[in-house]
Amino acid sequence: MAERYDLAVVGAGPGGAATAYYASKAGLRTLLLDRQEFPRDKPCGDGLMPHAASEVALMGLGDWLDEPHHGRFTSFSMYTETAYLRQGVPPTLHGPHGYVAAREETDARILGRATAAGAALHTNTRAMDLVRSTSGAVTGLEATSNGETLRFETPIVVAADGVGGFAGNGMKAHQNAVARRQYFRGLEGLDQESLHIFITPDMNSDGAGYGWVFCFGDGRANVGAGVSTRSLQRSGRNLKDYYDRFLEEPQLKAWLRNAEAEGPVKSWSLKMGMWGAKRYARGLMMVGDAGSMVHPISGEGVGYAMESGRLAATWAHEAHERRDFSASLLSGYERQLRKKRAREHISGHAMVNLVPNLRMMEPLFKACEKDENARRTLIEGFTGDAPIYSLLKHPSALGRALRIAVNQRRNGVG
Ligand SMILES: Cc1cc2nc3c(=O)[nH]c(=O)nc-3n(C[C@H](O)[C@H](O)[C@H](O)COP(=O)(O)OP(=O)(O)OC[C@H]3O[C@@H](n4cnc5c(N)ncnc54)[C@H](O)[C@@H]3O)c2cc1C
């Protein structure tokens, strides 16, 4: 006989585990499946912005975040072709700092909270398909584990399978960015309490991209780079080539002089910006990367995955309360997500898509360099704390950017 659950969640990354945690806390019998065994690695920058840290702390992991082997950052340092912008972390509910925590550990911790709350976990189990009644209602899902086919009954499924192919048909949007990272030990000469972001000419001549150095508290650092797929198409280059050239940036090269690489370099793909994906259907909700919840400018997604999971769990609960698993009811999930995040996603998406390459933004970076208020707003646009169009509130910085652009043109620069 098939096991029966109130909710089945596919994928036990931060999005799926948060969904399962909140659903279990709300009293739903929750199944959580993942095709991998945990702890498992997930290629990532390992940065937890303050809003993401709030989500982690909300699940009872605040003390764990403060353990000294994690990095703790209080500022951003942004290096562009013509400017250096340094700014404190915007104040948030979690306080004026964020963290750098290895995903292998973070995801296992979050998952531990889900199972402690009562979620039934099946690892090494790949979800294959939704099962629907002749009328189209979701009645369960089919999975495989060790060559065996498993069937679970449930009226509602949350897909949190990241870039996996579970509920792909017509729901997911195409990936539009790729990123690569490696751990290093022993970087020297950098402020360990800052997140270092490099907007290099190399990564921003054919599209958009940036490199990063995020420090842990144990002497290691996560060094990575990501570019839009448009950059790859236009330049004919591959991600490894962009990454290798990033490692040659003079500032980074100096920091890495005596450092040693640890573990393999890993790459992964992303869909940045919430547009193009469908996040609900009858008996189905999409959470985290599966629902295109990655920030359109920064590529940050852990906090948004957890936030969308928290919201999806409350809508799964609501659906059970009303005995209504229709698309119409579950559209409430989408409505609330948009209300919370659409402004920053629309404006960020528009900026990244309308500006053919980020080098065109250099006059703005330069203009923000010495204007603290404009600089703060620019960084908040990056961290997801404000929509990027908030820069319109700084007409003097925009005016200065315009003058710099005009002068550059006159002098044949850029
Ligand atoms: C290189 C890189 C750097 C990044 N840096 C940052 C950063 O610094 N900060 C940040 O916040 N975000 C960052 N992101 C984005 C972040 O990694 C994602 O947004 C985040 O992992 C989303 O979590 P998720 O739970 O939606 O998906 P995932 O973490 O991808 O989890 C999906 C899970 O689903 C499972 N799965 C897939 N298919 C199936 C199936 N059919 N059946 C069962 N299980 C399945 C997988 O095994 C996996 O465990 C980065 C991304 C990349 C690629």
- Which residues, other chains included, contact 9 with Cβ-Cβ below 8 Å and sequence gap of 6+? 16, 19, 20, 23, 30, 31, 32, 33, 119, 157, 158, 160
CA of 393 to the centre of ligand 1 (A): 35
Measured from the Cβ of residue 297, the count of other Cβ atoms closer than 10 Å reads 23
Which atom, in ligand 1's list, is nearest to the CA of 266? 1
Which atom, in ligand 1's list, is nearest to the CA of 180? 1
* CA nearest to 121, candidates 44, 38, 47: 38
Contact 175, 271 (CB under 8 A): yes
* CA nearest to 308, candidates 12, 16, 11, 8: 16
CA of 391 to the centre of ligand 1 (A): 30
CA of 413 to the centre of ligand 1 (A): 40
Q: What is the spatial distance between Cα 340 and Cα 338, in angstroms, rounded to a whole number? A: 5
Phi, psi of 341 (to 5 degrees): -120, -10
211 Cβ inside 6 Å of ligand 1: no
Nearest CA to ligand 1 atom 33: 11
Which atom, in ligand 1's list, is nearest to the CA of 303? 11
What share of the chain in percent tops pLDDT 90?
79
Token digits of residue 200: 């290099």
Segment 159-196, tens digit of pLDDT: 999 988 887 678 888 889 999 999 999 999 999 999 99
12 Cβ inside 6 Å of ligand 1: yes
Contact 287, 158 (CB under 8 A): yes
Nearest CA to ligand 1 atom 30: 162
Q: Work out the pLDDT band at 413, boundaries 50, 70, 90.
A: low
Inter-CA distances, 132 with 11, 14, 138, 219, 302, Å: 20, 27, 4, 51, 31
127 Cβ inside 6 Å of ligand 1: yes
Q: What is the spatial distance between Cα 44 and Cα 14, in angstroms, rounded to a whole number? A: 12
Burial profile 258-288: b = 16 or more Cβ within 10 angstroms, e = fewer: ebeeeeeeebbbbbbbbeebbbbbbbbbbbb
pLDDT at 373: 93
CA of 47 to the centre of ligand 1 (A): 13
- Would you say residue 379 has pLDDT above 70? yes
pLDDT at 168: 65
Nearest CA to ligand 1 atom 17: 44
Segment 87-129, tens digit of pLDDT: 999 877 777 899 999 999 999 999 999 999 999 999 999 999 9
Q: What is the spatial distance between Cα 184 and Cα 249, in angstroms, rounded to a whole number? A: 16
Looking at residue 272, what DSSP letter applies? B
CA of 289 to the centre of ligand 1 (A): 6
Q: How much is the mean pLDDT over the chain?
A: 94
Taking each continuous run of H as one helix and of E as one strand, the counts in the chain are: 12, 20
Measured from the Cβ of residue 309, the count of other Cβ atoms closer than 10 Å reads 32
CA of 27 to the centre of ligand 1 (A): 26
Contact 87, 376 (CB under 8 A): yes
Segment 213-259, tens digit of pLDDT: 999 999 999 999 999 999 999 999 999 999 999 999 999 999 999 99
Average pLDDT over every residue of 40-59: 96
pLDDT at 414: 54
pLDDT at 355: 81
Going along the chain from its start, the domains and CATH numbers come out as: 3-46+102-173+273-346 (3.50.50.60), 177-268 (3.30.9.100), 358-410 (no CATH)
Nearest CA to ligand 1 atom 21: 302
* CA nearest to 200, candidates 382, 357, 7: 357
Burial profile 54-64: b = 16 or more Cβ within 10 angstroms, e = fewer: bbbbbbebeeb
CA of 407 to the centre of ligand 1 (A): 43
Q: What is the spatial distance between Cα 277 and Cα 290, in angstroms, rounded to a whole number? A: 8
Segment 291-346, tens digit of pLDDT: 999 999 999 999 999 999 999 999 999 999 999 999 999 999 999 999 999 888 88
Amino acid at 317: H
Segment 119-152, tens digit of pLDDT: 999 999 999 999 999 999 999 999 999 999 999 9
CA of 257 to the centre of ligand 1 (A): 31
Q: Work out the pLDDT band at 358, boundaries 50, 70, 90.
A: confident
Q: Are strands 30-33 and 120-122 parallel, antiparallel or unpaired?
A: parallel
Token digits of residue 204: 């921003």
